[in-house]
Amino acid sequence: MSFKLKRSEFDHFSGLASEWWQKNGKFKTLHDIQPIRIKFIQEIFNKKNLEKIKILDLGCGGGLISEELAKLGANVTGIDFVKENIHAARIHAKQNNLKINYKTLNFEKERINSKFDMIIIFEVLEHLSNWKYFLEKIQFNLNPNGKLIISTINRNLLSKLLTIDIAENYLKWIPINTHTYYKFIKPNELEYILRENNFKNIKFKGLEYQPLKKEWRLSQMTRVNYFCSCKLN
């Protein structure tokens, strides 16, 4: 009998570093949802211009979110543990004349020393070895009243069907083996840990694909992909 071992999260993302800025490549879905993500962030600040706001983009990959925020005037730091991702992010930012502070660092193992007005953790928690412990630590990197925004995937049969069976294995919208079902996070589990760690104003929004219109939109349906926003007490 042969077993196919799942590659580590690190190896998985190392193998995809050249894909970040291919709009129709392996990260097409992230490019497609980009406008919704940016609008969601702007609505949290209640303004379009993010000038002088200090933002940390954790697990920034090739810098898709970091760049958009820098274009809106934010002072952005992007961190990722895959050095090829940071390399791709730096080159792309340079081509676009954007000043972004990129760092290669494993934030589950190493310390981040600065404090920020906002921390963004998009599509990352479900890849960590211990997201609960990680969220305990992250509050110390926020300024008073600092905001935290997370996007991740709920854990239930529908989310498994849509994100792993259909989006990964059948439609190939997402690279195969990107997700592991047991690492998905239910909104009530996330809410509990956030409350335990001094976060308040915890709100959820769903991110939903409408197959007939071939469009993504924000909704109240959090059974699959969802956003969570909150504020440090």
Ligand X SMILES: C[S@@+](CC[C@H](N)C(=O)[O-])C[C@H]1O[C@@H](n2cnc3c(N)ncnc32)[C@H](O)[C@@H]1O
78 is an interface residue for ligand X by CB under 6 A: no
Amino acid identity for residue 147 in this structure: K
Distance of alpha carbon 68 from alpha carbon 100, whole angstroms: 11
Among positions 59, 190, 199, 207, the unique one binding ligand X when judged by CB under 6 A: 59
DSSP state of 198: T
- CB under 6 A: which stretch of 57-65, 187-195, 204-212, 217-225 binds ligand X? 57-65
Closest residue by beta carbon to ligand X = 59
Angle (CA) 166-58-106 rounded to 5° is 100
| Three-state DSSP state, 9 | helix
Considering only residues 3 to 42 of the shown chain, the ones binding ligand X according to CB under 6 A are 9, 13, 30
- Kindly state whether residue 117 participates in binding ligand X, applying the rule CB under 6 A: no
Closer residue to ligand X in complex, CB, 53/79: 79
> Interface with ligand X includes 108 (CB under 6 A)?
yes
Residue 181's nearest CA partner among 152, 206, 156, 151 is 156
What's the rounded Cα separation, in Å, for the pair 16 and 84? 9
Interface with ligand X: number of residues (CB under 6 A): 21
- Choice between 7 and 200, CB closer to ligand X: 7
Q: How far is the CB of 63 from ligand X (least distance, A)?
A: 8
C-alpha pair distances (Å), 87 with each of 25, 58, 101: 18, 16, 12
Question: Taking CB under 6 A as the rule, does residue 119 contact ligand X?
Answer: no
- Which listed residue (72, 89, 124, 207) binds ligand X by CB under 6 A? 124
Kindly tell me which residue out of 41, 53, 65, 148 binds ligand X, with binding defined by CB under 6 A: 65
Two tokens, residue 179: 């997700």
Query: Which residue in 67, 68, 117, 123 binds ligand X (CB under 6 A)?
Result: 123
Least distance CB 126 / ligand X (angstroms): 8
In the complex, least distance from residue 137 CB atom to ligand X, rounded to whole angstroms: 12
Q: Provide the token pair at 56.
A: 């940390």
With CA atoms as reference, report the closest residue to 107 among 125, 89, 85: 125
226 binds ligand X (CB under 6 A): no
Q: Tell me which DSSP letter residue 122 carries.
A: E
Query: CA-CA distance, 185 to 154, in Å (whole number)?
Result: 5
Piece in contact with ligand X (CB under 6 A), picked from 106-114, 163-171, 180-188, 192-200? 106-114
Which residues, including other chains, have CB under 8 Å from residue 105's CB and lie 6 or more apart?
79, 80, 81, 112
| Binding positions for ligand X, rule: CB under 6 A | 9, 13, 30, 59-61, 64-65, 79-82, 85, 106-108, 122-124, 127-128
